[in-house]
Amino acid sequence: MNKSSKRFLVLSHVMLIILSVFLAAPFVLLIISSFTEESTAVKYGYTFFPKMLSLDAYRYIFSNIGMFGKAFLITICVTVTGVIVSLLISSMMAYVLSRKGIPGGRILNFFVVFTMLFNGGLVATYLNYVQVFHIKNTYLALLIPNLLCNAFSIMMIKNYFQSSIPEELLEAARIDGASEMKIFLKIVIPLSKPILATVALIVGLAYWNDWQNGLYYLDNTAMHGIQNVLNDMNSNAKYLMQFGTGGATVPTTTVRMAIAVVGILPVLCVYPFFQDYFAKGITAGAVKG
């Protein structure tokens, strides 16, 4: 390695370290703020070096474990179900679009791409889901709208199928008498773990962070997921007092930070298992295409 390459490598590492620090700083501040004593946070604001620490916010959360626990359970169930069904639908559609010579393939591809460019708008979408599909005040309201199947996921998987799975391998399977379904399940899916894991992570994050569907379609707050609970808390601090006991003082400022920390913990725990697949899924099409 020559001196020019070494200098570039050192400079790249320095820049990446600086960017990493800037990216990590908000999360560090969030965690520290959640452990800050309430009056200190109100008086001095959020800081990396608080004058007084406290566990009051987390004590409050665990004292209301029923409310938060149910919200977490709803979000987990919706996320897992949504990811599984979304992968199933998107991968099957992507496989059809990736095959050459499929009757009506161009028309199907047009309809998929068209939804990436235009949508029916909020009012038409709301009326469609409420009056036609009747998902109002049901758990399907957290599952179906917007996130269950989207054109972006389909096109990502389709491009991966076309660029990373040899057509000769599929033709050999057909010659051996394998049906399209068997080829899809036994060959295509096992070879597509990187892109499927990538889409699973993207869709899973979308479900986990979604609060709009709960806001639009659920009047019953008992059916809200964790993001809706957090949104309610941020919108109205008095929301916390509804669940207090005996008029106890609620650390509203630091509780918001604490519930945000608890909200992102599952994502932080899951992401390392998807990291390698995520990188491969994003880059494979560009490298092999």
pLDDT digits (tens, 9 = 90+) for 164-188: 888 888 889 888 888 888 999 899 9
Position 138 in a domain: yes
Query: How many structural domains compose the chain?
Result: 1
Q: Is the dihedral of CA 54, 55, 58, 64 positive or negative?
A: negative
Position 217 in a domain: yes
CA dist., res. 108 & res. 119, Å (int): 17
The pLDDT score that the predictor gives to residue 88 is 92
The pLDDT score that the predictor gives to residue 247 is 47
The pLDDT score that the predictor gives to residue 86 is 92
Position 18 in a domain: no
The pLDDT score that the predictor gives to residue 220 is 85
Which CATH number characterizes residue 182's domain?
Answer: 1.10.3720.10
pLDDT in tens, 176-219: 888 888 999 899 998 888 888 888 888 988 899 888 888 889 88
Position 22 in a domain: no
In one-letter notation, the amino acid at residue 238 is K
Position 10 in a domain: no
The pLDDT score that the predictor gives to residue 246 is 47
For 279, the token pair is: 């990188």
CA dist., res. 36 & res. 44, Å (int): 10
Q: Is the dihedral of CA 176, 180, 181, 186 positive or negative?
A: positive
The pLDDT score that the predictor gives to residue 257 is 83
Position 97 in a domain: yes
- Domain span at 77: 27-288
For 231, the token pair is: 């949104």
- Smallest CA-to-CA distance from 206 within 269, 145, 161 is with 145
In one-letter notation, the amino acid at residue 8 is F
Decide: pTM greater than 0.75: yes
Alpha carbons within 13 A on the beta-carbon side of 212 = 9
The pLDDT score that the predictor gives to residue 15 is 93
Position 197 in a domain: yes
Of the chain, the end-to-end C-alpha distance in Å amounts to: 29
Position 202 in a domain: yes
Stretches in the chain below the pLDDT threshold 70: 1, 233-252, 274-289
